[in-house]
């Protein structure tokens, strides 16, 4: 140990006092920087050609939390209104397990929840949000997991998630009958929602009475470009453009909603986004809203200071959705909420 310390001390003295030592120090940093840049570019190049790597980054189904069985009784042991549901599809060849959070009556509005890109239906943040939708708005909420998530077998992909959402939607419509059917989606699920509604329009099937988009985006490449790990790519525009062109799953929400509206879908729609969202920047949600409001009745609820997964803590979300779903006024205990500054734009603001 003493010999090792002596050698290190001699090297430190040499590099600090000798011009040759300083040159070696600079060269070491240059080599390290070159290796880091080469490694980063190599990883980007590999990802551009690897569907499996792209999807491992985009779909965090390997973060399958909470662990263990997803039976409703495990997470709602004292709540008989939350029950397990199962549906199968010949088109996908799969059986899907989910939950139904039952309202006071099956004649109350029905709401399909489409999740984001990580964990499963039992994630505490998600349960907080659709628990409050269920209880405060007295709506029937249906939640499932896409293939590859939770207890649904298979591998995730954009096309797979949209196919799964179609299965979920048909099941919801069957349960709802003539009652209102609504759609709510969060994060990556908003891209799935656009694909679902486009499919329903193309197949001339029943469409949602309303659509609510929580922390949505324009297209996935815009989200990727905003991510901190992609910032070096912005210094190399040709490499960035090449990588974006090679994305397997594009989730072009803006393009899909434009086509949907051209086909006659008029909404109404509600966009909800926080200004402190570091996953999907607020500006992307506003850009999508600006596209939506040109062709449909759309509103934007801006939550000042809210992060990506904090939507469920804001009472304004549920008041706005109550208006959108045309539910009776519900008494809410304000002591359970954290009140924040918000801005509501669009059609709903006329009814405040």
- 268: cis peptide before it, omega within 30°? yes
Is 270:320 a contact under the CB 8 Å cutoff?
yes
Show the tokens assigned to 215. Answer: 């922390």
- Taking the C-alpha atoms of residue 243 and residue 46, their distance in angstroms, rounded to an integer, is 10
Strands 298-303 and 342-346: antiparallel
- Taking the C-alpha atoms of residue 221 and residue 252, their distance in angstroms, rounded to an integer, is 9
Rounded to 10 deg, the angle between the 124-137 and 315-324 helix axes is 50
Number of alpha carbons in the 13 Å side-chain half-sphere of residue 183: 30
Show the tokens assigned to 130. Answer: 């659709």
Give how far Cα 33 sits from Cα of 29, 38, 175, Å.
Answer: 6, 8, 59
- Taking the C-alpha atoms of residue 303 and residue 312, their distance in angstroms, rounded to an integer, is 11
The per-residue pLDDT for range 133-153, each reduced to its tens digit, is 998 899 999 999 999 999 999
Per-residue pLDDT of the chain (352 residues; tens, 9 = 90+): 555 555 556 545 555 555 545 555 566 556 655 545 555 455 554 455 567 777 887 888 888 889 999 999 999 999 999 999 999 999 999 999 999 999 999 999 999 999 999 899 999 999 999 999 998 899 999 999 999 999 999 999 999 999 999 999 999 999 999 999 999 999 999 999 999 999 999 999 999 999 999 999 999 989 887 766 666 666 667 766 766 777 889 999 999 999 999 998 988 999 999 999 999 999 999 999 999 998 888 999 999 999 999 888 888 898 888 888 865 444 444 444 443 445 666 656 443 3
Strands 140-144 and 110-114: parallel
Show the tokens assigned to 303. Answer: 């939550």
Is 144:89 a contact under the CB 8 Å cutoff?
no
Q: What size, in residues, is the chain?
A: 352
């Amino acid at each position: 140990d003493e010999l090792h310390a002596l050698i290190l001390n001699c090297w430190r003295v040499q590099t600090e006092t000798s011009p040759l030592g300083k040159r070696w120090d600079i060269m070491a940093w240059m080599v390290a920087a070159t290796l880091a840049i080469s490694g980063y570019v190599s990883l980007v190049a590999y990802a551009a050609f690897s569907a499996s790597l792209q999807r491992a980054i985009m779909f965090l189904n390997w973060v399958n939390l909470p662990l263990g069985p997803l039976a409703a009784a495990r997470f709602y042991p004292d709540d008989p209104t939350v029950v397990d549901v199962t549906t199968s599809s010949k088109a996908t060849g799969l059986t899907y397990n989910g939950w139904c959070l039952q309202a006071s009556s099956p004649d109350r509005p029905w709401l399909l929840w489409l999740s984001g890109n990580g964990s499963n239906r039992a994630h505490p943040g998600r349960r907080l949000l659709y628990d409050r939708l269920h209880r405060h708005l007295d709506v029937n909420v249906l939640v499932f997991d896409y293939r590859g998530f939770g207890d649904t077998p298979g591998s995730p992909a954009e096309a797979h998630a949209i196919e799964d959402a179609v299965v979920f939607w048909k099941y919801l419509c069957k349960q709802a009958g003539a009652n209102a059917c609504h759609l709510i989606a969060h994060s990556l699920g908003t891209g799935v929602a656009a694909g679902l509604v486009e499919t329903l329009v193309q197949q001339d099937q029943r469409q949602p009475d309303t659509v609510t988009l929580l922390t949505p985006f324009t297209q996935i490449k815009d989200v990727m470009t905003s991510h901190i790990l992609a910032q070096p790519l912005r210094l190399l525009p040709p490499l960035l453009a090449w990588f974006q062109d090679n994305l397997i799953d594009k989730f072009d929400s803006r393009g899909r909603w434009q086509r949907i509206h051209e086909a006659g879908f008029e909404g109404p729609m509600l966009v909800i986004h926080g200004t402190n969202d570091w996953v999907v920047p607020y500006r992307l949600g506003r850009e999508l809203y600006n596209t939506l409001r040109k062709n449909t009745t759309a509103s934007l609820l801006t939550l000042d200071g809210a992060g990506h997964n904090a939507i469920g803590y804001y009472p304004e979300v549920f008041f706005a959705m109550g208006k959108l779903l045309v539910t009776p006024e519900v008494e809410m205990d304000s002591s359970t909420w954290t009140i924040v500054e918000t801005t509501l734009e669009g059609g709903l603001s006329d009814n405040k």
